[in-house]
Amino acid sequence: MFFSFVKYQGTGNDFVIVDNRDKHFPIEDHRLIAQLCHRNYGIGADGFIAIETDATSDFFMRYFNADGHEGSLCGNGSRCAVHYAHALGLTQKEVVFRAADGLHQAAFVGEEVALLLHAVTDWNTHDEAIFIDTGSPHHLVFVDDVASIDVASLGAQIAHGAQYLADGTNVNFVEVTAADVLHVRTFERGVEAETLSCGTGVTAAAIGAHISKRVMAKNISIQTKGGVLTVSFSDTSTGYEAVVLQGPASPVFKGQWETSTK
């Protein structure tokens, strides 16, 4: 069996994407998805995305973690999916699509894709760390020197520690480098490693920095290993609204995969 795919990246967060509107891809084959994402035995990616039809929006984005299991919202993956769906002729400059957490709006801003996330009205603090769900769960640790952190080791300990035994969590290490600038490194569950960037993670970091009054800006630039993203929001009496993640998204290459039916 052959199927076509495209490899995308958004600030180094990379994804294998298939156009699955005709349901030709074996979407329940989690072992195949994990193999596609494997960097030695497959194409190599932080996650897998299937573009499918949706009755009430431009398309449905089904997202899978690199381990092959269906995941929660992926911010950078969503932006890449919007870019690809537009290339397929499914969208205009302003987009409405469905993801795991419901409907989202997105738009092209020059060469970048801006994604509107859901409002954030709840968060928890524990030993100065902050937990925020921005479509995916994120544990935030504010540090003085993020470059010195052993993200792989410490991130894994927190992600699967006693506090998060059920499903695990993503872990973000955040350094405030200016009044409106953060430097963020992320350990992603499902990938089980540090990724070059995480869209919902930097969004959580920006909101968490504002909650803790480490920054007062509402338009924040975030440096990741893979590039720069921006997060903007409005704070209200009930939380944070108009939460927008913006940054680049671009195709890397296209290809075909041959898989055995055995």
In this structure, what token pair is assigned to residue 154?
């410490």
- The overall average pLDDT reported for the chain is 95
3-state secondary structure of 183: strand
**Architecture of the domain whose range is 2-111+250-258:** Roll (3.10)
Q: Please indicate whether residue 37 is annotated as part of the active site.
A: no
pLDDT given for residue 259 in this prediction: 72
How far apart, in whole angstroms, are the C-alpha atoms of residue 114 and residue 79? 7
- Strands 219-224 and 227-236, by their bridges, are antiparallel
Q: Which residue has the tokens 């699509």?
A: 97
pLDDT at 166: 74
Q: Which of 198, 202, 204, 222 is catalytic?
A: 198
Architecture of domain 123-248: Roll (3.10)
Nearest-5° angle of CA 122, CA 149, CA 154? 65
Rounded mean pLDDT of 71-81? 97
| pLDDT above 70 (res 261) | no
Q: What would the two tokens of residue 252 be?
A: 């890397």
Q: Is 74 a catalytic residue?
A: yes
In sequence order, which ranges of the chain are alpha helices (DSSP H)?
30-37, 75-87, 151-159, 199-211
Asked if residues 73 and 60 have their Cβ atoms less than 8 Å apart, the reply is no
Query: Tens digits of per-residue pLDDT, 99-153?
Result: 999 999 999 999 999 999 999 999 999 888 999 999 999 999 999 999 999 999 9
The domain limits of the chain are: 2-111+250-258, 123-248
Asked if the model's pLDDT at residue 35 lies above 70, the reply is yes
Q: Enumerate residues 6+ apart whose C-beta is below 8 A from 49.
A: 15, 16, 17, 18, 61, 62, 63, 64, 74, 77, 80, 81
DSSP code of 136?
S
Question: Does pTM top 0.75 for this prediction?
Answer: yes
Please determine, for residue 93, whether its predicted confidence score (pLDDT) is greater than 90.
Answer: no
Q: Say yes or no: do domains 2-111+250-258 and 123-248 share a fold.
A: yes
Catalytic position from the list 36, 74, 117, 156: 74
